A = this chain, B = another copy of it.
Amino acid sequence: MRGLMMSGKLLISTLIVHADRHHGDTEIVSRRVEGDIHRYTYRECHRRTRQMANVLTGLGVKDGDRVATLAWNGYRHLELYYAISGMGAIIHTINPRLHAEQVAYIANHAEDQYICFDLTFLPTIKLIAAHCPTVKAFIAMTDRAHMPQDTGIANLLCYEDLMDAASDDYTWPTFDEETASALCYTSGTTGNPKGVLYSHRSTLLHTYAAALPDTLNCSALDVILPVVPMFHVNAWGLPYVACMVGAKLVFPGAGMDGKSLHELLETEQVTMSAGVPTIWQGLLSYMETNGLTFSTMKRTVIGGAACPPAMLRKFQDTFGVHVLHAWGMTELSPLGTVCAFKSRQLETSLEERYAVQAKQGRAVFGVDMKVVDEEGTALPWDGKTSGALLVRGPWVVSSYFKSEDKLDLKMDADGHGWFPTGDIANIDADGYLNITDRDKDVIKSGGEWIGSIDLENIAMAHPAVFMAACIAVKHPKWDERPLLVVVKKPNVELGRDELVAFYEGKIAKWWTPDDVVFIDALPMGATGKILKKKLREQFADYVLPTI
């Protein structure tokens, strides 16, 4: 027997309609590529979103067509988010930090019809323009006055010109909520990039879950600045969350340096932000160097890579900003777990609470997770036994876009498919996830695992260390041993022996890195993650002193 409730569909257009209707005066503030600060309201944003839907309809965009963006976080990008998905097409957010060949590969694989881009990325567009046969035109996200001249790009359109010519009379269509809404390729540390195709349903469910008090805890009282890019898993869902709850949105554009970020956080009275550890490292260094503080920031979400405990303490103890340590993936829309406390933990010591916060936290309702051994048997939740992390839920990928090789879901006895995350983790009795490694980054010494993240976290706690990465180096006796690669802070002294000694008493003796190498900069991926694969290649022939 079916229930007798209305059939209201979970569609992305309902988010911007709600924001307009219930928070029409709430602001959206953007630092523009053109150099200035732009501000308008949800009402105006919705109006222009409807105009853009008419623009795209006029350009022949149909249900299911892919329209790509190569853009910073900004209001025009937000308009494209809602216009493209809302009309039934698919927004394909491309990471502009990728090499031009990779951008072209992705655009061709996705068969993009149009590519909208911020002026910053014109050089990339110039390189790919002749190599993307499906692209009918490139749309520069700027006005007539800022349009580049003599680009050599055959079909170059101007975003604001198109907008000016379009009506704002548009009614959002209703369709099946399983319809695809957005496409995001994983950065592809191995093989070609793979596309994750989100649906309206998965996005709306993820948005509800993301806004919950124990997840990102967003309300109409919040001012949200997503540092995490809108080209990277939809800025962890924040552009959707903000509309659902009516929070003010602040977009940093290209200003991702410490100074620009701090200025915007302060002038716009931001209460909440989100990003990867490497970006925060830059902001915190800038603030410490210049003796700055936060006046409105309440909390920040840190994910994308494990948050070093030293950074956690700096945010909380020095700057009074609560850290929400989170774990997710492109394949998870992205939220899997967030580290929110349980009542009991609030009564424990500061040290015990920091130990909890160093973990990635509890599963958001909707996501189910387990760790399994090599035979696929579920491991106990004892906070010690590590295994491969598997997840499932309505915002978890079931297969990749146009993927020839089927995604290798792990089936359980009840017939449920589980997505293998590629992470190695343990889960404690309270359900707190602790990622100990990526399975490809694991160091296997004498048949036992050494957690590279633990070793990096200890190094990061040393006052002279700016960044650290730990990789496996071949060893004739132990098979692999850990090598620590470190970037020092400017103008400090730090030697190999001092750093090795720093591990004493903090970890099992045989986990201690066999050697330390100091370099000027770590290789970074397009989403701000350290590329350990590159490091391993670089140090493939490194000879450890213990050999």
Binding site for B on A (CB under 8 A): 1-10, 15, 18, 21-23, 25-26, 63-64, 90, 171, 176, 178-181, 196-202, 205, 208-209, 211-214, 217-221, 223, 244-246, 248, 333, 340-343, 346, 362-363, 365-366, 368, 392-401, 414, 417, 419, 430-431
Contact = CB atoms under 8 A, between A and B. Distances in A.
Nearest to A414: B171
Contacts of A176: 2
B8 A431 contact: no
A26 B401 CA distance: 41
Contact of A219 (B22, B63, B202, B340): B340
B213 A7 contact: no
Contacts of A214: 219-220, 245-246
Nearest to A398: B6
A72 B470 CA distance: 59
Contacts of A3: 178-181, 197-202
Nearest to A5: B202
A196 B4 contact: yes
Contact of A1 (B179, B196, B365): B179
Contacts of A419: 6
Which residue of A15, A26, A178 has the most chain B CB atoms within 10 A of its CB atom? A178
A220 B343 contact: yes
Contacts of A220: 214, 340-343, 362
Contacts of A196: 4
B180 A22 contact: no
A9 B416 CA distance: 12
Contacts of A4: 180, 196-197, 199, 397-401
Nearest to A19: B365
Which residue of A1, A196, A218, A343 has the most chain B CB atoms within 10 A of its CB atom? A1
B6 A343 contact: no
Given A245-B213, A431-B21, A7 B394 contact: yes
A4 B220 CA distance: 32
Nearest to A243: B365
A180 B1 contact: yes
11 contacts: A1-B197, A4-B196, A8-B394, A8-B396, A10-B394, A22-B363, A22-B431, A25-B430, A212-B245, A213-B245, A214-B220
B1 A63 contact: yes
A411 to B, nearest CB: 12
A241 to B, nearest CB: 10
B6 A392 contact: yes
A126 to B, nearest CB: 30
Contact of A398 (B7, B199, B399, B417): B7
